[in-house]
Structure 1
Amino acid sequence: MLAKTYRLIVKYKNSLMWALVILILCGMPPSGLPTIKIPGIDKMVHFGLFAVFALLLISEMNYQRFQLTVKNRHKWVGFIVASIYGGLIELTQLYLFTSRGAEWADFFADILGAAVAVLVYPYINKTLKGYI
């Protein structure tokens, strides 16, 4: 059991580290974040965070990446896991990190970022010749 858990952690180390980065950034009090006066910047940040998360998940599941191909189930799992994590982040902002506010728009930005990652992964994989 411990060996299997260790193998999973090693296999998905990049995704897990990125998930931790997302949790830290989304849990920080607003006073700890830089103030940027660009309308919608927080939605763009959510989009980018979850696009990268989904790309990492798909890449780490895709054992065929050096053949420059990806199975649809890997794309679906990456999308679903990133979307559920986005929902969990919003719930933690609502109930745990009370200095932060949960927003439906953030959740939709998370889902959209994951969806775009699914769509662009095959092209990125081919362009980078299987290194992602």
Structure 2
Amino acid sequence: MFVTFFSLFSLSGVGASEVNIPHIDKVVHFTFYSVMVVLGYLATPTEKEQGIGRSKLLWYIVLFAVFYGIIIEVLQHVATTDRHGDPLDALANSTGAIVGMLAVRFLFFRVPSLK
């Protein structure tokens, strides 16, 4: 809901900053979607994880995040007057989701050593 609100509602003129960092919005998109995947995985009950498999569940979460990001960009273009959908934002969203998946796999899918 947080991402949806800030994606579709205009906050122009609110807290306008004098600091101008090029493409910082892409970093924000990347970060939001990588965190979304990690939190989505952590929020899933372990019973669900065992029912369909951890890897498949993680792929469902990533696919949801990617499609959600694309839908939000389309809605920004179609349903708002002062926001514009950006394919590079959708790419940053998707890349963030994939990196979030890799982080989950690295942190939670590791096989313990045989020592």
- TM-score, normalised to structure 1, is 0.69
Q: Percent identity?
A: 25
1:86 aligns with 2:69: yes
Match 1:31 to one of 1, 8, 13: 13
| Distance verdict in 2 for CA 1:53–1:27, change over 3 Å | same
Structure 2, unaligned runs of 5 or more: 48-52, 110-115
Identify unmatched segments of 5+ residues in structure 1: 1-19, 65-69, 127-132
What SS does structure 1 have at the residue aligned with 2:46? coil
Cα deviation 1:88-129 (Å, max 9, x = unaligned): 110110111221110000000000000000000133448xxx
Name the CA distance, whole Å, in 2 between partners of 1:46 and 1:33.
Answer: 19
Q: Which protein, 1 or 2, shows the higher relative CO under an 8 Å CA cutoff with sep ≥ 6?
A: 2
Tell me the distance in 1 between the aligned counterparts of 2:80 and 2:3: 13
C-alpha root-mean-square deviation of aligned residues, in Å?
2.0
**Structure with larger Rg:** 2
Q: Which has the higher helix share?
A: 1
Structure-2-length-normalised TM-score: 0.78
Corresponding pairs, count: 102
